Amino acid sequence: MVAKRIIPCLDVKDGRTVKGINFLGLREVGDAVELGARYASQGADELVYLDISATVKGRKTFVGLVKAISERIDIPFTVGGGISSLEDAGRMLEAGADKITVNSAALRNPSLVDEIASHFGSQFVVVAIDARKSGDRWMAMSGGGRFATGRELFIWASEVQERGAGEILFTSMDHDGTRQGYPCDVFSELNSLLRIPVIASGGAGSAEDIAAVLSEGKADAALAASIFHYGEITIPELKHFLVSKGIKVRI
CA-CA-CA-CA torsion sign (194, 198, 203, 205): positive
Quick count: other Cβ atoms within 10 Å of Cβ 162? 10
Interatomic CA distance for residues 220 and 170, integer angstroms: 12
Could you say which of 130, 176, 209, 220 is catalytic? 130
Query: Would you say 52 and 13 are in contact if contact means Cβ atoms under 8 Å apart?
Result: yes
Question: Is 176 designated active site?
Answer: no
Select from 65, 145, 133 the least CA-distant residue to 103. 145
Interatomic CA distance for residues 103 and 116, integer angstroms: 13
CA-CA-CA-CA torsion sign (112, 125, 114, 214): negative
First to last CA, the chain: 15
Interatomic CA distance for residues 239 and 248, integer angstroms: 9
Q: What are phi and psi of 157, to 5 degrees?
A: -60, -40
Q: Where are the beta strands (DSSP E) in 154-245?
A: 167-172, 198-201, 221-224
Interatomic CA distance for residues 226 and 177, integer angstroms: 7
Question: Is 11 designated active site?
Answer: yes
Question: What is the DSSP code (8-state) at residue 249?
Answer: B
Known catalytic residues are 11, 130
